[in-house]
């Protein structure tokens, strides 16, 4: 498959049409309350794990993990904490040069090889001081902290040879963009535990323009690398940094557990192809919180494998929380689920988001051949401004890894709960297009308001069923079923 992948692209008796005064009141309440959620959960929640939460540092040599968080609803407790590192070194101790021109690839690799020996003796930390540190890909180690000081910038090498080719992911079967292997991420890790990547708002810049041009020119030989990818890893904290210009998806935890991504700024040009912000993939207990993202693709995308490879591996994504995320993407969505969801996606909470000038607010993407399931998705307290389509279910991408996909493998979607959502100046009504022969059921809307549509604009629904309470404008008949108490 060598073609270029396209970029994301009568009322029921219990339904009451809101009066304009009520709508104005709703808008005022939303603005004043700043999308604060009620303390009573409308939908099922799983237990939140105890443990250390935030990260504090008076100096880069004195990083400790705090046991509390100012927000009692924070999901950062997924990170279990780590002890103070016993050995702290600077990249300059290994001969690194931060002039923006000298390659530090071997320096980073040598430094981490040296620090690896302290993994079972209290762990280690590598500081990156102020400067511009050019490097190719390097691998992290367990019981390790990478700390970027104020003014520190790690720059991705412009030499593709410094982004080596590695094996494709087993749940994808091939590179996502090209057959065969894929370029390793700039910062990579496999089989790690107790890793912290943080700093004093230092920057990691993938300098992705070279890679985007290979894509645009159709001369890309292998799938582009991520800025940061961690595989088969546990207890990870990524915080207090700025990530820029990733060649491909920016942060990609895959086959991981207990991952916290917090207080991050992620930026890429709005036309940069497939530069997703954060993509948890076949991972569990993932917290994405207090992040600002601008990208040329989904701000956050939850995935779990591609067609028959994902079905065979059967590694779902579950217990994912996305909260207090804001940003814009002109071609894609604030949060996407799929389209690679063949291992299953369940127990996802999306809340307290602000999305503007985007193609879609929330998008659920699937297709024939995907199989898998999407279940128990709670979406609440979302504010959208100038978002073209507030909520979209899409299909028909005809996007498969090879000829081995099964056209009879259809996804199952059950339990999508949307509440307290307001979309201002939208141009299209929701589009909920399921798949013929598949179950797309218990799609539930409550207190869902779209303002700015023409009176003639109607919802588009196919092969879905569900319920609606306090929804404006009038939803499609497929959502006007009896039993809407499930939405109360």
Question: Would you report the helix, strand and coil content of the chain in percent, each value rounded to 5?
Answer: 10, 40, 50
CA 322 to chain centre: 8
297 counts as catalytic: yes
259 phi and psi angles, rounded to 5 deg: -120, 130
For residues 185 and 227, is the Cβ–Cβ distance under 8 A?
A: yes
Token pair of 16 as six digits? 């009451």
Q: 112: part of which helix (H) or strand (E)?
A: helix 105-116
Contact 364, 334 (CB under 8 A): no
In angstroms, what CA-CA distances link 125 with 105, 332, 352, 403? Answer: 18, 37, 34, 46
Of these residues, 276, 281, 297, 399, which one is catalytic? Answer: 297
Residues contacting residue 137 through CB under 8 Å, at least 6 positions apart:
105, 157, 162, 163, 164, 184, 185, 186, 187, 188, 225
CA 171, CA 148: separation in Å to the nearest integer? 32
Give CA–CA dist 348/419, Å, rounded: 14
Residues annotated as part of the active site = 297
């Amino acid at each position: 498959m060598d073609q270029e992948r396209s970029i994301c692209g009568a009322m029921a008796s219990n339904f009451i049409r809101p009066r304009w005064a009520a709508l104005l009141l709703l808008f005022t309440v939303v603005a004043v309350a700043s999308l604060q959620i009620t303390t009573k959960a409308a939908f099922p929640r799983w237990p939140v794990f105890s443990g250390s939460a935030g990260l504090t540092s008076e100096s880069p040599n004195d990083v400790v993990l705090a046991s509390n968080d100012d927000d009692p609803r924070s999901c950062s407790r997924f990170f279990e904490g780590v002890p103070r590192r016993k050995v702290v070194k600077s990249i300059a101790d290994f001969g690194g040069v931060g002039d923006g021109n000298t390659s530090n690839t071997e320096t980073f690799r040598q430094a981490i090889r040296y620090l690896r020996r302290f993994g079972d003796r209290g762990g280690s930390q590598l500081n990156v001081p102020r400067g511009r540190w050019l490097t190719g890909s390097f691998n992290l180690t367990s019981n390790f902290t990478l700390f970027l000081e104020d003014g520190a910038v790690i720059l991705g090498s412009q030499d593709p040879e410094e982004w080596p080719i590695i094996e494709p992911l087993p749940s994808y079967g091939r590179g996502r963009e090209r057959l065969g292997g894929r370029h390793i991420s700039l910062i990579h890790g496999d089989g790690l535990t107790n890793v912290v990547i943080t700093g004093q708002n230092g920057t990691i810049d993938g300098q992705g323009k070279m890679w985007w041009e290979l894509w645009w020119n159709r001369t890309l030989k292998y799938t582009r690398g991520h800025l940061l990818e961690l595989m088969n890893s546990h207890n990870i904290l990524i915080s207090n940094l700025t990530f820029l210009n990733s060649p491909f998806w920016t942060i990609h935890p895959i086959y991981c557990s207990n991952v916290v991504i917090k207080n991050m700024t992620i930026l890429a040009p709005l036309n940069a192809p497939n530069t997703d912000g954060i993509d948890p993939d076949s991972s569990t207990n993932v917290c994405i919180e207090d992040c600002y993202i601008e990208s040329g693709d989904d701000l956050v995308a939850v995935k779990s494998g591609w067609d028959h490879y994902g079905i065979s591996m059967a590694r779902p994504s579950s217990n994912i929380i996305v909260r207090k995320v804001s940003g814009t993407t002109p071609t894609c969505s604030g949060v996407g689920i799929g389209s690679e969801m063949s291992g299953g996606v369940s127990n996802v909470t999306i809340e307290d988001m602000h999305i503007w000038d985007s193609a879609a607010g929330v998008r659920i993407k699937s297709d024939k051949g995907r199989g898998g399931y999407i279940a128990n998705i709670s979406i609440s307290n979302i504010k959208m401004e100038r978002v073209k389509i507030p909520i979209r279910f899409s299909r028909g991408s005809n996007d498969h890894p090879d000829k081995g996909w099964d056209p009879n493998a259809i996804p199952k979607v059950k339990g999508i709960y949307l509440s307290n959502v307001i979309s201002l100046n939208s141009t299209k009504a929701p589009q909920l297009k399921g798949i013929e022969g598949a179950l797309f059921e218990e799609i539930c809307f409550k207190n869902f308001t779209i303002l700015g549509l023409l009176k003639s604009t109607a919802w588009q629904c196919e092969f879905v069923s569900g319920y609606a309470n306090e929804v404006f404008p009038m939803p499609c008949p497929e959502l006007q079923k009896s039993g809407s108490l499930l939405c109360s």
